[in-house]
């Protein structure tokens, strides 16, 4: 573990990100959140890793928003009909 960097416990990371402690552990286990194992019961996460996780993984839940329906008069079929006439 490098000195001069800011490090957080997994509980502190959960509090800072507003997510459950189990979510932090899962992110570490599946590799989306980098950490260092200090001893068998303690993992530390750098402030840089926390910010990287926040920007890449938080706020991207569920399906993407639906597209808005086409405006009246912009129907592709009506423009094809106009070309035939």
Task: Tell me the H-state helices in the chain.
Answer: 10-17, 21-29, 47-57, 76-84
> Where exactly are the structural domains of the chain?
7-57
Separation of alpha carbons 27 and 16, rounded Å: 15
pLDDT, tens digit (0-9, with 9 covering 90-100), for 25-61: 999 999 999 999 999 999 999 999 999 999 888 876 6
Backbone angles phi, psi at 23, to 5 degrees: -65, -40
Mean pLDDT, the chain, rounded, equals 83
Which of 6-10, 13-17, 56-60 is least confident?
Answer: 56-60
Task: Note the pLDDT of residue 16.
Answer: 95
pTM over 0.85: no
């Amino acid at each position: 573990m490098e000195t001069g960097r800011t490090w957080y416990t997994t509980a502190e990371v959960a509090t800072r990100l507003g997510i459950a402690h189990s979510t932090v552990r899962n992110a570490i286990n599946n590799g989306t959140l980098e950490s260092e194992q200090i001893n068998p019961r303690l993992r530390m996460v750098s402030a840089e890793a926390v910010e990287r996780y926040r920007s890449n993984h938080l706020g991207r839940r569920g399906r993407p928003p639906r597209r808005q329906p086409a405006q009246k008069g912009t129907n592709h079929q009506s423009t094809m009909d106009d070309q035939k006439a």
